[in-house]
Structure 1
């Protein structure tokens, strides 16, 4: 992997359409269908595929290009979402966001302008943030409130704590939590992991949160998650990092079975 990259490399990569969306299906076990998809933007260029997000975002930060890149990611996701809808696939997409982007001046106006211009609905988009959001939660709250009022839903990824440790205000902004992948991966080998998942699923239900169990890599993990009350799951067993074409094929196969 080439780690000696510059801001010009990233800009050229955008211009040459080297960044591609990848999709991870979220499956509702009660219905047996995909009811959402996580998205990720990867640099699909030889030698760059495994470049970490932090490395890319660090360069963007130093050149004040972070928000511009997020808007590019958002536009790509909205285009893919519209294409999937035209094919009859209707469910929300999750877009990864970071608190530093949320805190940037003009973030709300820039994001909402895209929706006004495109006619897309923010109700179809889930903004997925890390638990570090709560480290400075009240400074982010005004922007979060405006985003929710505009129609976005807020998801917390890698969520692994007792909701009672959060303030009521912070609990109220959450629509969805996604477990750390490691929790799902350990379900068949760790009684503690199973117990912790049961507690988290029960807590999410009591808060009326959608709870997505990540890290489901095989049928045994799936059965173990279901036994602990999991309703929505994702992971390698259902496909991770799928191209748009692979995601379409999966969804078309799902439709053909109905």
Structure 2
């Protein structure tokens, strides 16, 4: 299903996006060496409940997972890159943490992810990899005009990732979003320009370039959810929800204010 949101729904989507962006910024500010992944999950739960919103993850049970997910946020550490199931693990200085969050507020969902290094003094390769996913995301957003196609977005993101030398996994990527978290169209992290569905004002997309240092192959954890690099290399993931408008793509999940 592909949804085109009405103007009133787009107003609600902006509210959802601001909430997601604010929660992620608050979590980034709170995380320190010694923080437990379960604490991050609990903080997220409290902020979602306090906002009168609903988690898109707690009851999420897709065919590729061992569901329901049962937690409020994905916490992927170091070689984990997608669907990291929170568990009893304390972060240490230098861990590369990805937080991926989807929340529904007033019936409209928004989805975003950030990667950052815990504590100070990140390794140069970690900084480069995170920055590359952020640049790829910016390129995809810039390509998301109402006259473009999905392939134009995929090509723009893939060009940045490939130029930086990172392999690209084509199994998991971005997606449509709206009254439900995952919708058509699929937005791969590489593709051919001029191909795929035409973009229309009112379409919401979650764009999410992610990479692993030296492989495009994933390995699953016994928890049935967490996906890691097959070689054990480090990973990074950046994501925003955007709305296609007559003027281009509007980023909905930028952090505005913290939820404290």
Per the TM superposition, whether the score is higher than 0.5 is no
**More helix per residue:** 1
**TM-score of the two chains, using structure 1 as the length reference:** 0.27
**More strand per residue:** 2
**TM-score of the two chains, using structure 2 as the length reference:** 0.27
Larger radius of gyration: 1
Larger RCO, structure (CA 8 Å, separation 6 or more): 2
